[in-house]
Structure formats: C-alpha cells, structure tokens
Amino acid sequence: QGIFVLGLPYALLHSGYSGLFLIILAAALCCYTGKILITCLYEENEDGQLIRVRDTYEDIANACCKKLSPKLGGIVVNVTQVMELVMTCILYLVVSGNLLSHSFPYVPMTEKTWSVIAFVTLLPCVFIKTLKIVSKLSQLCSLVHFIIILVVVTYCLTQIHQWSWAKFRLSIEFEDFLVSVGVIIFSYTSQIFLPTLEGNMKNPGEFRCMLNWTHFFACVLKTTFALTAFLTWGEETKEVITDNLPSFLQTLVNLCLLTKALLSYPLPFFTATEIVYVCISRGNHSNYRSPLFSLGVRGSFLLLTLLMAMFIPHFALLMGLTGSVTGAAMTFLLPSLFHLKLKWKKLSFLEKCADISVFILGFLCSLAGIVCSIKGLLAVFG
C-alpha cells in the first residue's frame, strides 16, 4: 500500500462508479502480470521440472533480445528500473520536506531545509546490505500506513449520517477519468521488486499464493478506504484525502505520513543500488567487488536523490511523465511482451489473448499519461 492510496477518494470523485470497477480490475491485472513475470524466470528441464534459470528482470529481457543484441534488453530494463526507483526515492524526500513544513509551520525553515533534515535520518541506508533489513522496515511502514487508514476511516464512520450514494457521478470527463486511471493502476504497481522478492523468499513455491492474497486484501482495503472517504466529503474531496481532515487530526496523520515516507525510502533505494552495483561489478575487476566500493555506490545514490529533490523545478510533473512511461512499461508492457516471447509455444489461445490485451491496455494507459503530463508541463512553462 503506497502513498498513492491517499489519492483514491479523489480518483473516485472523477471516475464515479467506474472507479470502483477499476480498483478491482487493476488488482486482478497487476496480480496477473506479477505472476507471468515470475514465470519467465523459470524453464522446464528434461524431466519436466521447473528450474530457475534467470534471477532478475534484466535476465528476462536479455533472454528475449538475445537474437537482436545479447545485452540490449537488459540495458533498457535497467535504465527504466533505475529511473523509476530514483524518482520514487526523490519523491519521498520531497514529500518528507513538505510534511515537516506543514507539521511545524511556526519553525522558520523552508521545505528544502526540512528535506535536508529528512535526508540526514536516511544516512544509515548506506549500510543496508540485505533485503531482510529492508523487509523489517517495510513491515513497520505497513503498520504506520494501517494507522493512517484507521484514523481516516474511523473519522469517516463518525460522519456516516451524511453519506449519500447520490454523490457518485454518472457522467465523467475523459481527461479527468484518465488521471483517475493512472492513480488507481499505479497504486498497485510492485513488479520491479518481484524477481528480487521471489528469489529471497524462504519458500518460493508460495509466491503465487502470496501474490493472490496480498492483491485481494489490497483491493478490499483500497475499495473500503476510497468509498468511505468519498461518501464523507463528496464534491469537497481533495487530491490528498488527509487535507480534508480536521486540523487536530491533520498533524497526527502528517507525522504518520512522514514516518511512512522515511520507512518507504529503503526499498526502492536498495533495489536501485543493487541493480547499479551488479552492473558495474560484472567481470573480473576485484576493486568493484570490495565493500568500500559498494558503500560508495550507495552513498553516491543517496546524495543524488537529495540534490535532485533540492534543485529540480516542477518535479511533480516530471515525476508524472516518467511514471507514465516507466510505470506502465514495467507493470504491463514488458511482462506481457516477455511472457509471449519466451512461452509462446506453451501458451493456450486464451493466455495469448490475455497477454495481448494487457499489452494494449498498458500502451493506452502510458500514452494517455504522457499526453496529460506534457499538457501540464506546457501549461506551467507557458
């Protein structure tokens, strides 16, 4: 459950009843593409047993493009992954500065200064070496997120006497609907982390079951949260639903969101630095495999995210443009394309149709997101 979930009630405002259907459909599609992506890591041996012959998203891409160029697919995937992960890390820093600024308005400091303070608390990330540590931080992040959801839903339930289904729109504007589609779909995305996650599981055979249950509960939680919040505030629903809360609850929720943002940072940070470190340390260069070099890579990445958070203007719009390209590609386009390429002879007609449909849907979502983001950038720059 990412910070995107806080925008779901606003998405319902612009998508009406179709938004509820989209929340369920997005869960099913993201769960499906997660499964087919992991399927591409395995091949059958002579005895018909599945053997894990690939370890990363990059390995899958290279296997698909080996006739064209042995390393082309991997380069494209790695660049796309790192771009999205770095942008995500920067967003967490920007959000942290914004939340600290709003939580302590009486302290005479700018948002950028608060971002630097948040950055200092993240310095221990350079010492993270395994996914086990990241998983513990992510578990704490989930707990904090649950508290935020609980506070918002509890307040909404106290306003149940004001609820009315008449608040739902029947007619929707196409551009606003596209924005809603983006928010809903990208609130589920996790494909970048799945090969690493599955490879680190104690029992990889339980991966599909885990994916089914997590997406099911995510769908239930998102639907419940979005519905209760929208029925409470209706047309007054703001882009980030916590802005609708009374002031005495806003400070509490903002501090929880800050904690969540800081605890969320290590996962994309760890994944991005691992990708870069593995790419650089290939070959027989022993200097690149030293612990000091690994520390240098993580330290450089940490500093890069701070500098970009401090100096890039209109970051939110650039993030939207990057997300539309990389998010849709990593979640829909590439998993379905790779699955078709590697498993074509073993797929049934329905499975082929499903993959092609997902690919087309991903392409349309990406195209729509790019158009909306470019329009926003053109409006800002005049």
Domains of the chain and CATH, by start: 2-381 (1.20.1740.10)
pLDDT over 90 for what percent of the chain? 28
Token readout for 5 is 């979930």
Which residues make beta-bridge pairs with 43? 51
Identify the sign of the CA torsion 336, 339, 342, 348: negative
Q: Is the pLDDT of residue 284 over 60?
A: no
pTM above 0.95, yes or no: no
Closest CA to 263 of 115, 92, 88: 92
Q: Is the pLDDT of residue 266 over 70?
A: yes
Each residue of 150-179: pLDDT tens digit? Answer: 999 999 999 998 888 877 776 677 777 777
Closest CA to 77 of 298, 320, 326, 321: 326
DSSP secondary structure, 287-350, as one string: GGGSHHHHHHHHHHHHHHHHHHHHH-TTHHHHHHHHHHHHHHIIIIIHHHHHHHHHHGGG--HH
pLDDT score for 308: 87
Which helix (H) or strand (E) segment holds residue 381: the answer is helix 349-381
Neighbours of 170 (CB within 10 A): 7
Each residue of 113-127: pLDDT tens digit? Answer: 988 999 999 999 988
Closest CA to 332 of 313, 309, 356: 356
Confidence class of residue 347 from pLDDT cuts 50, 70 and 90? very high
